[in-house]
Amino acid sequence: MTRGVLGLLAKNISPPNLSIMQDEGFSVGRLRTELLSGLTVALALVPEAVAFAFVAGVHPLVGLYAAFIVGLITAVFGGRPGMISGATGALAVVMVALVAEHGVEYLFATVVLMGILQVIAGAMHWGKFIRLVPHPVMLGFVNGLAIVIFLAQLTQFKVPGTVENTGHGAGGGAWLSGGQLATMLGLVALTMAIIWVMPRVTKIIPAPLAGIGITAAIVIAFGLDVPRVGDLASIEGGLPLFHLPMVPLNWETLQIILPYAVILAAIGLIESLLTLNLVGEITGKRGGASQECIAQGGANIVTGFFGGMGGCAMIGQSMINVNSGGRTRIAGIAAALFLLIFIVAASPLIEQIPLAALVGVMFMVVIGTFAWNSFKIMTKVPLTDAFVIVLVTVVTVMTDLAIAVVVGVIVSALAYAWNNARRIHAITRDSVREQGAKVYEIQGPLFFGSTDGFIELFDVEGDPDAVIVDFAASRVVDQSALQAIETMAGKYQAAGKSIQLRHLSRDCHELLSKAGHLMVDSDDDPEYGLAVDYSVKTGILGSH
């Protein structure tokens, strides 16, 4: 099965560009930047993966293995070098109900099916539909995720608990207080200050890595009593091993896992493709949406067979990578490999890192991710767009990303339809070529939203016996428009008058032809090739 997945990856996506020389220009400095950026990302991945594993109700290693496998495969095959993927909270909150009711083996089977669905989406090039997401929705997405990342860090200001004594994992204890809280806040502020100052001093070491290193050194040297990574859970483990999900291969199992797989696949692809576009805007490079879909799907299939909880793109870690200078696939590969080293060989050292340092890094990510200019933008854009920005932000925080994006797209589409519905109007004049005929020059698109306005344009009782409807400045878009034309024609027929349709574009003509409204093309209109007479007296469409 795994070989088949890798074969499909090789056939459906372009070969990964692993060469630094081609991506950014080879140099020792560039290689050092990529490796250090990967190390910084790996350090930030540890508490996130552990926390999301707790949210899903699985062992921390299940989250860490997912971060390693998904991160590695998408770094090699993904559509956007520099983007980081791993276990995410958006997926974990969906998984928790499945794990609680059916167990972790069903989760692994679901992750495999989720990956298959994502590969199918990529092979069918459905990733291109991400272009339908309007810019206000993107702003709301960015702002909402920045708030979610911020809120997620607040759990680190609690006395660390365990799965056994808290029921829901790390951060489940009481809030820190007194000197411990003051020390924690001070270390967070110190980390943020180092990240802010370091680029002004030197760019040899990524600022987030410097912040983590200096803060960790102070905590360890002075033995400060603050929560550390090891207080969340032990991250020590071995290499992930191949494991077939232990579930019955029958229809009942499919009925259980398919609904979860569809939801997880949709959330994963939406978050990944939006992050792909965001990273592309920051780095000035476009990414391959379909390629990313297939890479994400292949990564999740492999993860499901190696005991991981699945994952997708991580906007926070992607921003850490980009801000640390990571621009090529090497940074993502290095992050995954460093994470594996942490699990296999360096867990005692990593577990000594204070959570305050990692919280400081994530707070700086929040500051850098939130679109602060959106407050200014909302005062200049149409009220509907401003509403969409706020709506998507709120829904992202209150529910999840997928629902927020869908809601934002629907509201934007309805607003667009309403605005276009009000554009329909007509310019009337008397025809020179056909004496006594009245010409209606339709302006604006004719579709479901504008059909009522279209019907109201015509004065059936007051018009002469011959009426010409000119669509040169309009378009017949859908079946509702066709029905509106039929309704209009019927009114003239009932009044004993004739009507002609002119200047229909080729695609409009095809719509009418498929619906059985047009029988013969006209040759008297060389620009459009379409000028149709509709004689309501005879009920026949023909050329004039």
Per-residue model confidence as pLDDT tens digits over 55-80: 888 999 999 999 999 999 999 999 88
pLDDT at 9 over 80: no
- How far, in Å, are 135, 144, 392 from residue 270 at the CA level? 15, 14, 14
Phi and psi at 498, nearest 5°, equal -105, 160
Residue 329, pLDDT score: 93
For the domain spanning 425-543, the CATH number is 3.30.750.24
Residue 173, pLDDT score: 66
| Inter-axis angle of helices 315-323 and 251-283, nearest 10 | 30
Please provide the average confidence, as pLDDT, over all residues in the chain. 84
SS3 of 318-355: the string is: HHHHHHCCCCCHHHHHHHHHHHHHHHHCCHHHHCCCEH
Strand order in the sheet with 540-543: 425-430, 438-446, 466-476, 498-502, 531-535, 540-543
Residue 103, pLDDT score: 93
SS3 of 350-376: the string is: HCCCEHHHHHHHHHHHHHHHCCCCHHH
Give long-range contacts, CB 8 A cutoff, 24+ apart: 511-519. 511/476, 511/477, 511/478, 511/479, 511/481, 511/482, 512/476, 512/482, 512/485, 515/479, 515/482, 517/482, 517/485, 517/486, 517/541
pLDDT at 20 over 70: no
* Mean pLDDT across 349-354: 92
**Rounded CA gap, 396 and 145, in Å?**
7
Report the DSSP beta bridge partners of residue 86: 312
Phi and psi at 375, nearest 5°, equal -65, -40
Residue 108, pLDDT score: 97
* Mean pLDDT across 371-387: 92
* Mean pLDDT across 221-243: 91
Query: What are the E-state strand segments in 379-435?
Result: 425-430
Residue 48, pLDDT score: 86
Band of the pLDDT at 531, cuts 50, 70, 90?
Answer: very low
pLDDT at 232 over 60: yes
SS3 of 8-29: the string is: HHHHHCCCCCCCHHHHCCCCHH
Phi and psi at 158, nearest 5°, equal -110, 160
Of the listed ranges 162-171, 308-317, 364-373, 474-483, the least confidently predicted one is 162-171
The single-letter DSSP state of residue 461 is T
Residue 422 DSSP SS3? coil
Residue 241 DSSP SS3? coil
Report the DSSP beta bridge partners of residue 111: none
* Mean pLDDT across 423-445: 82
Query: pTM for the full model?
Result: 0.76
Residue 17, pLDDT score: 46
Query: Residue 13 in contact with residue 294, Cβ under 8 Å?
Result: yes
Residue 432, pLDDT score: 58
**Rounded CA gap, 373 and 365, in Å?**
16
Residue 543, pLDDT score: 36
**Rounded CA gap, 269 and 126, in Å?**
10
Query: Residue 257 in contact with residue 94, Cβ under 8 Å?
Result: no
- Is pLDDT larger for residue 458 or for residue 524? 458
Residue 250, pLDDT score: 95
- Parse the chain into domains and list their residue ranges: 27-156+227-350+370-377, 425-543
- Is pLDDT larger for residue 17 or for residue 461? 461
Q: List the structure tokens of 74.
A: 């998408």
Q: For the chain, how long is the longest CA-to-CA vector?
A: 99
Band of the pLDDT at 515, cuts 50, 70, 90?
Answer: low
Residue 169 DSSP SS3? coil
Q: List the structure tokens of 47.
A: 């508490």
Tell me what percent of the residues of the chain surpass a pLDDT of 70: 84
Band of the pLDDT at 159, cuts 50, 70, 90?
Answer: confident
Residue 160, pLDDT score: 65
